[in-house]
Amino acid sequence: MNLNILEGKKHIHFIGIGGSGMYPLAQILHTWGYHLTGSDNNETETLDAVRKMGIAVTLGQRAENIEGADLIVHTAAIMADNPELIAAKASGVPVLERSELLGIVSAKYQNAICISGTHGKTTTTSMLTQILYTGKVDLSAFIGGKLPCIGGSGRAGQSETFVCESCEFVDTFLKLFPDVAVILNIDADHLDYFGTLENIIASFHKFASNATKMIIYNGDDSNTIQAVEAIDKPKITFGLSDQNDYYAVDIQRVSGLETKFRVMKRGEEMGEISLHVAGQHNILNALAAIAAADCAGNVPFSAMQEGLGAFRGAGRRFEKIAEVNGITIVDDYAHHPTEVRATLRAAMELGYQNVWAVFQPFTFSRTAMLLDEFAEALSIADKVVLTDIMGSREKNTYNIFTRNLGEKIDGCIWFPQDESEEPNDTRKYRNFDDVCDYLCAHAKSGDLVITLGCGDVYKVAKQFAKQLAK
């Protein structure tokens, strides 16, 4: 990777500039004084935000859009036959995939805090960003979800601090240059790429080894301990055990989503935190953010208290969509059995009459490889509704269907993937419209309906809320 590729460049063009991962990079490079242009295929709120920065955006991707650019960036989602990408590669101008540019940008900061982990990256990155922002740190940020306090998924600041969500998928995080590497947990995921848990642990080991200043990790997670134990660099641990450097005591669920606990640092009390996102997993996320903020320096505990006290979750992380006719509707990004389990356990503690899990399996490989684990996790809910599997980048070479999961869950309703398969209900619920019809007919006042998945199942939550209101 050529870390000096930005030198001498004036005009950078973004193919797919409306993507959530492109927007923060556009913010930062715009602040650094580069002339930016971009293109995308769909109007979005993010595209509006890009235009408000004074960046020219073309709707529709065509070869002529790249004219005048001396560096071109594209998202991984851009297909090889995209005319704009074909023109870019034929132009002789340097072309970067978004993750490569993110790595180059991360190297420019003296305090790049890169937050990794199989679960909780977006929430923890958002928590840390909110803490530092509350503490008047003029940080830059790259987040995989929208954070209300900064108005989006990124921020461009003037300080040397950069908070960056760091994704392990296809080893993307190995392109980053972390000064502080944070590991929240390590679990079996993306097995279509990694193959084995041992390979995943090995990748996290490489990521942590790249840290120049500090490794902050979950001292209660055996896979994470294995990943970092042979690395001879300064380390800080967090967790629920008092063997960690940062840990929580006197955990109390106050009411609704509010939890209170006291934070201990090497046996000394720092103070009390009031958290408004549910679940033990979010206490761990908060402890990781506190440890990273404390490591960053010049951040008083009062800023941690205020920032976390005001935090209500990042977009699509137990995000309350609406409350209609006594039914609470929530959306969550959980797409791995561990995440589904943690989210549903938290939901079941909130005192609703019934908790409905509306789950969209994501990728055929993950569904096939973790089928029993998904069934066990989803069975925590009172009621389970499954949509079709969203294959995303994959073809169904696994011969896996929603019914294979649905048959393992008592009382589950699922929706067939093709016209040849009969549903397990008297009606054929084949799409989101029919899912919403089913929920409208069966969910009752006092219930919680939570949509789960990293695809487009959030549309069900929003559509259901509108339909219920009618």
- 376 CB-contact burial (10 Å; exposed 0-12 / middle 13-18 / buried 19+): middle
pTM: 0.85
pLDDT at 428: 45
Average pLDDT over residues 114-143: 97
CA 61 vs. chain centroid, Å, equals: 27
Q: Using one digit for the tens of pLDDT, what is the confidence trace for 93-126?
A: 999 999 999 999 999 999 999 999 999 999 999 9
pLDDT at 317: 80
Average pLDDT over residues 363-379: 95
pLDDT at 250: 97
Residue 257: which pLDDT band, with cuts at 50, 70 and 90? confident
Dihedral angle, C-alpha 112, 113, 117, 122, nearest 10 °: -100
Residue that has been written with the tokens 């070869």 in this structure: 63
pLDDT at 172 over 60: yes
pLDDT at 178 over 50: yes
Rounded to 5 degrees, φ, ψ at 33 are: 100, 5
Q: What are residue 355's DSSP bridge partners?
A: 448
Average pLDDT over residues 396-403: 92
Distance CA 101, CA 99 (A): 5
Do 180 and 295 contact (CB within 8 A), yes or no? Answer: yes
Residue 255: which pLDDT band, with cuts at 50, 70 and 90? confident
pLDDT at 315 over 80: no
Residue 419: which pLDDT band, with cuts at 50, 70 and 90? very low
Q: Using one digit for the tens of pLDDT, what is the confidence trace for 9-55?
A: 999 999 999 888 899 999 999 999 999 999 998 888 889 999 999 99
Q: Give 55-110 as a DSSP string.
A: -EEEES--GGGGTT-SEEEE-TTS-TT-HHHHHHHHSSS-EEEHHHHHHHHHTT-S
Mean pLDDT of the chain: 93
The residue type at 163: V
pLDDT at 297: 83
Residue 378: which pLDDT band, with cuts at 50, 70 and 90? very high
